[in-house]
């Protein structure tokens, strides 16, 4: 594609970085190009390789086509890599069971056939997809990431190479396996790690630190363009539908998994219990709640120290009533509410319960969420010779209702992270999977048939798998706003047509409508609220009912990722060339979102929506 001249390009980039608050503080920060001509040459991909072999991005816009389908370029990059009619590449694509994603996959497969790639499409339910990709049993895969906290680093940690290797404990990134054995230049890998370190090393709110973090975030996006390790597809507009008998306040940009039904549902007319739909999930243990579906159940049964109120970006106290943060951002001191009660007569919540719960996330072999307390918060800890955490030394009860977190390095977003479901509190010693505790029950019992928390609803029953259900009763002794109904019943349904039929048969009170059954012409928007939330109606549907509607841009990104040790770079680039985002959003996802050219969604991209657009458009 046509490119700007070098001087014009560098001036444009400096203006962009200045506009986003990410202007370079010096001309030689963390290996970045100074923009001069000395000792460097431009590569065909728009990057710069210095005479010492260092990598620095040098893109003037998104390099694989904006609102274009570039099959010729895809074929050329494959032929340049030695592929052709007699040397085709077989690519195995694994995706969540969804007709819209399947339609997109079939379109991509047809385009890649002309680029000497034969793509096999395989589907799995959500739990199986997560398990297979964590085990590395994949090549290309589709997933989405909903913000755990609304900051760029929450998205960029997905592609920090060290965090993508699920052979190592504590990984919580995308399943890229971006190791030394990856099909990518080691200089690019090193550069990504360096830029992420710049974000970690500049946590404060000074102008200089904000600028450095912003520049590093933009640099990581461009290095992602270079590698095609992960191809963003779209940012979702999340939509929810509900019948008139529900007095319901829809969730905000943090999504449905951050919503507690006792707050969202003010009343139910003519019913005692709320009926909803869930997909499959693997565990009810907060320490193992690594996906949206299990996280939603954890949100109902457990409380964390803080909460995103009704799925908005507003963080509020939940189990705590006060806090202090040290000036150097390395120590947080919390004072708990008194009188908070656990389910099943487990008594009052104290600081000892919080310490035990956070220790489990860090120390237990059952935890799948170590990344958040260890690599994100950086809570002080000790490890053995193999790198396994032996003791979480940085979490301590300093009183009956007071606890402290001591961090290895400054971190400014501790309150936001402690709203994540993994930090939900359970009774001290209920499971004996960390040193010092024998446990009141076996882990298998706690995680599947007897989870005990202090949330607004308490566990009754879970029949796992497609066709099962989750039943919860309202907890009468809840410390917060009580639910106005007696409980929640979630039908577990994986098939999208079955989910839709369940809703239009009025078996669910509140539900999403699968894209394959969604008709955008039935939406009537009556009001647009702060944050872009649309309120209106949808219908009439096949059952002659018109239901209430809400659509909100959620802080998320849906993407195609690759196992970097298995899939050659040329194949990844060919995929990027044939992905036409606007076409897919319009024709496949029915305008339920916007094309994604960055991993960071516009709400958290340095400089916001205008800077997001300017960066990829050039």
- Which whole number is the average pLDDT over 32-47? 34
Is the link from the previous residue into 540 a cis peptide, with omega within 30 of 0? yes
Local confidence band at 602 (pLDDT 50, 70, 90 cut-offs): very high
Higher-pLDDT residue of 532 and 416 is: 416
Local confidence band at 65 (pLDDT 50, 70, 90 cut-offs): very high
Angle at 436 between CA 430 and CA 442, to 5 degrees: 35
Q: Is residue 305 over pLDDT 50?
A: yes
- Which whole number is the average pLDDT over 234-245? 96
Local confidence band at 528 (pLDDT 50, 70, 90 cut-offs): very high
pLDDT per position as a tens digit, 469-523: 999 999 999 999 999 999 999 999 989 899 999 999 999 999 999 999 999 999 9
- Which whole number is the average pLDDT over 413-420? 94
Alpha-carbon distance 543 to 337, whole Å? 47
Q: What is the pLDDT of residue 224?
A: 97
Instruction: Give the DSSP H or E segment for 246.
Output: strand 246-248
Q: Is residue 44 over pLDDT 80?
A: no
Local confidence band at 150 (pLDDT 50, 70, 90 cut-offs): very high
Crossing angle of helices 6-19 and 207-227, in 10° steps, is 130
Q: In terms of C-beta distances under 8 Å and separation of at least 24 residues, what long-range contacts does 321-327 make, across chains too? A: 323/415, 325/414
Q: Calculate the CA dihedral of residues 131, 134, 136, 138 and round it to 10 degrees.
A: 60
User: Is pTM, for the whole model, over 0.95?
Assistant: no
- Which whole number is the average pLDDT over 284-296? 85
Beta carbons of 344 and 284 less than 8 angstroms apart: no
Tokens found for residue 362: 């860090």
Q: For the beta carbon of residue 44, count every other beta carbon within 10 angstroms.
A: 8
Tokens found for residue 222: 């461009």
Beta carbons of 537 and 545 less than 8 angstroms apart: no
Tokens found for residue 536: 């209106």
Local confidence band at 36 (pLDDT 50, 70, 90 cut-offs): very low
pLDDT per position as a tens digit, 92-147: 999 988 889 999 999 999 999 999 999 999 999 888 898 999 999 999 999 999 88
Local confidence band at 388 (pLDDT 50, 70, 90 cut-offs): confident
Local confidence band at 386 (pLDDT 50, 70, 90 cut-offs): confident
Q: For the beta carbon of residue 18, count every other beta carbon within 10 angstroms.
A: 13
Local confidence band at 23 (pLDDT 50, 70, 90 cut-offs): very low
pLDDT per position as a tens digit, 436-463: 999 999 999 999 999 999 999 999 999 9
**Continuous H helices in 69-147:** 71-80, 99-113, 126-134
Report in angstroms the alpha-carbon separations of 576 from 68, 111, 137, 190, 427. Answer: 10, 11, 22, 22, 48
Local confidence band at 17 (pLDDT 50, 70, 90 cut-offs): low
Q: What is the pLDDT of residue 6?
A: 40
CA 347 to chain centre: 34
Q: What is the pLDDT of residue 290?
A: 67
Q: What is the pLDDT of residue 140?
A: 98
Local confidence band at 205 (pLDDT 50, 70, 90 cut-offs): confident
DSSP string, 420-485: SGGG----TTSB--STT--BSB-HHHHHHT-----SSEEEEEEE-STT-EEEEEE-TT-SSSPPSS
Percentage, residues of the chain above pLDDT 70: 91
Crossing angle of helices 608-617 and 6-19, in 10° steps, is 170
Average pLDDT, the chain: 90
Q: Is residue 202 over pLDDT 80?
A: yes
- Which whole number is the average pLDDT over 174-192? 96
Q: What is the pLDDT of residue 398?
A: 98
């Amino acid at each position: 594609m046509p490119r700007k001249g070098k001087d014009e390009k560098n001036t444009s980039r400096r203006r962009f970085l200045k506009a986003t608050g990410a202007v370079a503080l010096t001309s030689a920060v963390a290996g970045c190009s100074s923009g001069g001509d000395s000792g460097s040459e431009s590569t065909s991909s728009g990057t710069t390789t210095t005479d010492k072999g260092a990598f620095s991005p040098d893109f003037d816009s998104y390099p694989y086509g904006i609102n274009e389908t570039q099959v010729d370029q895809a074929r050329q990059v494959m032929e340049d890599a030695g592929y052709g009619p007699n040397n085709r590449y077989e690519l195995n694509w694994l995706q969540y069971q969804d007709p819209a994603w399947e339609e997109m996959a079939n379109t991509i497969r047809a385009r890649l056939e002309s680029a000497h790639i034969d793509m096999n499409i395989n589907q799995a339910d959500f739990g199986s997809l997560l398990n297979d990709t964590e085990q590395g049993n994949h090549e290309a895969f589709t997933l989405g990431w909903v913000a755990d906290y609304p900051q760029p680093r929450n998205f960029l940690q997905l592609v920090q190479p060290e965090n993508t290797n699920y052979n190592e404990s504590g990984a919580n990134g995308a399943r890229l396996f971006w190791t030394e054995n990856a099909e990518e230049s080691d200089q690019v890998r090193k550069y990504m790690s360096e830029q992420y370190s710049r974000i970690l090393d500049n946590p404060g709110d000074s102008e200089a630190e904000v600028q450095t973090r912003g520049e590093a975030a933009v640099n990581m996006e461009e290095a992602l363009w270079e590698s095609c390790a992960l191809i963003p597809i779209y940012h979702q507009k999340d939509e929810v539908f509900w019948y008139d008998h529900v007095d319901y306040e829809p969730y905000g940009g943090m999504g449905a998994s951050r919503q507690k039904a006792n707050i969202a549902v003010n009343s139910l007319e003519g019913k005692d219990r709320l009926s909803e739909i869930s997909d499959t999930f693997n565990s009810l243990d907060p320490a193992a709640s690594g996906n949206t579906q299990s996280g939603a159940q954890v949100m109902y049964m457990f409380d964390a120290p803080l909460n995103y109120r009704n799925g908005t970006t507003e963080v509020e106290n939940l189990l705590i009533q006060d806090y202090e943060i040290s000036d150097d951002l390395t120590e947080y001191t919390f004072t708990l509410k008194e009188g908070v009660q656990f389910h099943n007569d487990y008594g009052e919540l104290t600081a000892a319960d919080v310490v035990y719960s956070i220790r489990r996330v860090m120390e237990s072999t059952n935890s799948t969420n170590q990344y958040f307390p260890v690599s994100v918060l950086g809570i002080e800890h000790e490890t053995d010779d193999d790198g396994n955490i032996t003791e979480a030394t940085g979490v301590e009860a300093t009183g009956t209702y007071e606890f402290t977190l001591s961090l290895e390095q400054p971190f400014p977003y501790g309150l936001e992270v402690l709203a994540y479901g993994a930090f939900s509190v359970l009774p001290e010693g209920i499971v004996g999977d960390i040193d010092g505790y024998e446990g009141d029950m076996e882990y298998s019992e706690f995680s599947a048939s007897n989870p005990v928390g202090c949330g607004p609803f308490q566990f009754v029953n879970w029949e796992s798998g497609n066709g099962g259900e989750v039943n919860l009763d309202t907890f009468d002794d809840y410390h917060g706003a009580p639910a106005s109904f007696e409980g929640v019943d979630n039908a577990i349904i994986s098939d999208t047509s079955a989910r839709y039929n369940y809703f239009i048969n009025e078996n669910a009170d509140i539900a999403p409508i699968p894209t394959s059954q969604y008709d955008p012409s039935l939406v009537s928007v009556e009001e647009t609220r702060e944050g872009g939330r649309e309120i209106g109606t949808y219908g009439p549907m096949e059952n002659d009912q018109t239901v209430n509607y809400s659509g909100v841009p959620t802080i998320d990104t849906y993407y195609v990722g690759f196992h970097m040790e298995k899939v050659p770079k040329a194949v990844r680039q060919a995929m990027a060339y044939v992905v036409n985002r606007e076409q897919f959003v319009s024709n496949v996802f029915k305008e339920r979102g916007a094309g994604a050219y960055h991993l960071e969604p516009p709400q958290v991209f340095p400089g916001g929506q205008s800077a997001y657009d300017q960066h990829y458009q050039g």
